[in-house]
Amino acid sequence: MKCGIVVFPGSNCDHDCYHILKHVLNQETHWLWHKDEVNLESFDLVVLPGGFSYGDYLRAGAIARFSPIINSIISFAKKGGKVLGICNGFQVLLECGLLPGALIQNQSRKFICKNVFVNIDNPDTSFTQGCGENRVLEIPIAHHQGSYYIDPYSLTELEENGQIIFRYCDKSGNVSAESNPNGSVGSVAGVANKQKNIMGMMPHPERCADPLLSKTDGQIIFQSLISNS
């Protein structure tokens, strides 16, 4: 699988994503500088990593979405190219309209950094097919603006189209207010577009995908993408 990792000024999970794809999973991986417009036709996957692009000024992802590389990503995605946005990358995908909804400040007004459980709401996508019988993943979150918002009508639409990929849950997979860390509507932790080739998620799978660290649930997402490329 040929992967591209986008680097914005302020990205800080770009090296983690690069390390997992290139050194842990042995995939061909390239950096994509945000100022460049690149023909991405030969790529299988583009990752927009976490961090604080442009210092989160104005709104998280609001400035980054006007970077030249975004035009390349939009045409890549329109042709069915797979795009994964993690944390700040998810915020960028929402700001540029590739995914529906928005992310606002956590209900607690605090930056939350901890391991959470997510339930795989749609196991039939190229991001989740590798989960097998395993429906609950433990993946860390680290964000201040991670509360997903969409109006109730559009939320129903997302549910009907299978666009909700992950929901926050407890260890056994129960979705409830107690297991929702940030106040997201419908406990949504990750959504996809209708065609399911673009996915954004707040949890960080790249932070739990190296066997050197104790937890490796995040690998499932990258492995799914590799098997589908």
Reduce the secondary structure of 85-141 to three states and give it as a string. Answer: EECHHHHHHHHCCCCCCEEECCCCCCCEEEEEEEEECCCCCCCCHHHCCCCEEEEEE
Question: Which one of 31, 33, 66, 111 is in contact with another protein (CB under 8 A)?
Answer: 66
Collapsed DSSP state (helix, strand, coil) of residue 187: helix
Q: CB under 8 A: which stretch of 4-12, 47-55, 97-105, 173-181 binds another protein? A: 97-105
Question: Which one of 58, 172, 194, 213 is in contact with another protein (CB under 8 A)?
Answer: 58
Binding status of residue 137 toward another protein by CB under 8 A? no
Binding status of residue 151 toward another protein by CB under 8 A? yes
Please state, in angstroms and as integers, the Cα–Cα distance from residue 180 to each residue in 59, 106, 108, 185, following that order.
22, 10, 11, 9
Beta bridge mates, 21? none
Q: CB under 8 A: which stretch of 29-37, 82-90, 100-108, 158-166 binds another protein? A: 100-108
The site for another protein, by CB under 8 A, has a size of 20
Binding status of residue 112 toward another protein by CB under 8 A? no
SS3 content of the chain, % helix, strand, coil (to 5): 30, 25, 45
**Residues carrying an active site annotation:** 87, 204, 206
Positions touching another protein (CB under 8 A) are: 58-59, 62-63, 66, 94-95, 101-102, 104-109, 147, 149-151, 183
